[in-house]
Structure 1
Amino acid sequence: MALPKLLILLLSAALFPWPSPSSGAPLTGPRKEPPPLVIWHGMGDSCCNPLSMGAIKKLVELKIPGIYVLSLEIGKTLIEDMENSFFLNVNHQVSLVCEMLAQNPKLQQGYNAMGFSQGGQFLRAVAQRCPSPPMINLISVGGQHQGVYGLPRCPGESSHICDWLRKTLNVGAYTKGVQERLVQAEYWHDPIKEEIYRNSSIFLADINQERGINETYRKNLMALKNFVMVKFLNDSVVDPVDSEWFGFYRSGQAKETEPLQDTALYTEDRLGLKEMDKAGKLIFLAVEGDHLQFSEQWFCTSLLPFLV
């Protein structure tokens, strides 16, 4: 299914006005060879868009000389990569990425991972399901770790794809066909219908241990050195924005939210997050701006230190 040219233009011009890499002194770290970096893009983006992931890749390579950066491409072309961010089963995507990483000789001694928007929770699934090669640090930039309950700006208010997504999710997010074929349905979290969500979600409910405890998931996530979560304080895309820090709506309603530390996920420590928090492994960062909008200076100051 081909996406309309209008959506491509909106994504490039409106959602991802990334700063271009500029000259400047590279970061220095204690290691002569910095760990490799794996990047996973967000909804409607692609691995190598020069205005988004392409710019991030170049910036990291400029600031950290000698680093190997792999920006994940899910598909054979950039258009297919973009389409798959909407229509390719997430569990299948994660399996494909696990295979890519396992076969890449440059990653076998370990790598850092940075996921943008939905790419953040997808890379968390990689950390939980595929510990080899080992992920060192996980940086989630606007990732929706407790899912979403709404698509306020999908992106692009005028895009008919967004209108169709909203209607489909509101009507039948938990039907088998939608769950298996629509990416955003797989992390749709209805706080009013929690039981239906837990029983029907084929991706998020699994990685968040909603139906039982997989000790392997817990052990693998806790093996991270740091789990960095970036929240955008003026986010108009993610609903609720607290999901970027693992918070969510209190069960049974969709008005009041609760922080991670008040959720059952944390108090029951189903993912090991409570233990990681006590060990100082959870890093909560906040930045002014809308979804995925940040300055080059902030990116270099706040995130690059975790990569060296």
Structure 2
Amino acid sequence: MKIWITILFVIKLTIASPPPIVLWHGMGDTCCLPFSLGKFSVFLETIIPGVYVKSIRIGNNNIEDLENSYFMNPNKQVRIACDQLAADPKLTNGFNAIGFSQGSQFMRALVQRCGDKLSIKNLITLGGQHQGVYGLPHCGALKHKSCDYVRKIINYAAYYDWVQESLVQATYWHDPLKQETYKEKSQFLADINNERTINRTYIENLYSLRNFVMIKFNNDSIVQPRETEWFGFYAPGQAQKLITLQESDLYKQDRLGLKAMDDAGKLAFLSSPGDHLQFDRDWFIKTVVQPYLTNPADSKKDEEN
């Protein structure tokens, strides 16, 4: 109890007006239910007094939000989220963004595509699939009945146009044995990773972040390969040897500006010993909340601007 009181006291002292926080949930999850991100929103509001937390909902209710996490093309989801956040007056002066699982790459796309409408300070991704996935061993936090259907379709037809249009998970399916097909047919991931052409706007908007924090779960049994959570992946042409971000052409050619961000100290690679999205709250407060969500330096920069 004394530890929590100390933590709350320190946070109150370090920031007078905390920047808002925007959340984006993962596959088979919802924005706001009390056993889902609704619980995490309350957690943030408790440890950061006065913070405004908005959890992105794609749809008119929680059921639509959950089903859209499987069946609404992420390009459309990002457009909806961009307009939704731009219309929120509480986010006008900027906010911190946290993505969970597939919400990580959706939130990154939001940064890259909506820089003219939104001001995002720090991007934090938990268990994100930044280089895609090659396997779906488990599917969906809520064990939705669509899970098995999604898995079977993707295994056989991920790059068919109708599958790319209809199944969210196909849009970040990255088959290292079909690298050229992936680049040509991936409607979402290949684009936001600048793997077909170089979109300078994506690079500039991503670089405008103060920090891009990637959290990998060392015992992740859901994301394959788990190295994708740090932008690592299989070396092209096979599915055994894994390479880090720094060993990849994406980094060496700086096609997304990640090398420049790394050189500027804007990339952070953190890890947690748990399974997918499982982490200790005290660890999260010390490692994420205090340095990135309640950093006094952020307030000073805002005042100067």
Query: TM-score with structure 1 length normalisation?
Result: 0.90
Q: Name the residue aligned to 2:302.
A: none
Alignment pair present for 1:201 and 2:202: no
Equivalent residues in 2 for 1:17-36, closer than 5 Å: 24=5, 25-26=7-8, 27-28=11-12, 30-36=14-20
Alignment pair present for 1:304 and 2:289: yes
2:27 to 5, 21, 43: 43
Alignment pair present for 1:293 and 2:283: no
Q: Name the residue aligned to 1:70.
A: 54
> Could you tell me how far 1:125 is from its partner in structure 2?
0.1
> Could you tell me how far 1:166 is from its partner in structure 2?
1.8
After superposing the two structures, state which structure 1 stretch, 154-163 or 63-72, moved more.
Answer: 154-163
Q: Name the residue aligned to 1:99.
A: 83
2:229 to 205, 229, 244: 244
Alignment pair present for 1:255 and 2:240: yes
Instruction: Could you tell me which runs of 5 or more consecutive residues in structure 2 were left unpaired when the two chains were aligned.
Output: 295-305
2:170 to 182, 185, 199: 185
Q: Percent identity?
A: 54
Q: Name the residue aligned to 2:161.
A: 176
Instruction: Say if 2:215 and 2:270, in contact at 8 Å, map to a contact too.
Output: yes
Q: Name the residue aligned to 1:283.
A: 268
Alignment pair present for 1:113 and 2:97: yes
Greater helix percent: which structure?
Answer: 2
> Could you tell me how far 1:153 is from its partner in structure 2?
1.3
Alignment pair present for 1:235 and 2:224: no
> Could you tell me how far 1:148 is from its partner in structure 2?
0.2
Instruction: Say if 1:156 and 1:162, in contact at 8 Å, map to a contact too.
Output: no
The letter for the 2-side match of 1:253 is Q
Q: Name the residue aligned to 2:299.
A: none
1:273 to 258, 262, 265: 258
> Could you tell me how far 1:301 is from its partner in structure 2?
1.4
The letter for the 2-side match of 1:240 is P
> Could you tell me how far 1:156 is from its partner in structure 2?
7.7
Q: Name the residue aligned to 2:297.
A: none
Task: Quote the Cα distance in structure 1 between the aligned partners of 2:66 and 2:283.
Answer: 27
Report how many aligned residue pairs link the two structures. Answer: 287
RMSD: 1.6
Q: Name the residue aligned to 1:151.
A: 136
Shift of the 105–286 alpha-carbon distance from structure 1 to 2, 3 Å rule, reads: same
Deviations 1:237-282 (A, max 9, x none): 0000000000000000111110000011100001110010011100
Instruction: Say if 1:88 and 1:182, in contact at 8 Å, map to a contact too.
Output: yes
Shift of the 61–156 alpha-carbon distance from structure 1 to 2, 3 Å rule, reads: closer
Instruction: Say if 1:190 and 1:197, in contact at 8 Å, map to a contact too.
Output: yes
Task: Quote the Cα distance in structure 2 between the aligned partners of 1:189 and 1:79.
Answer: 28
Instruction: Could you tell me which runs of 5 or more consecutive residues in structure 1 were left unpaired when the two chains were aligned.
Output: 1-21
Alignment pair present for 1:162 and 2:159: no
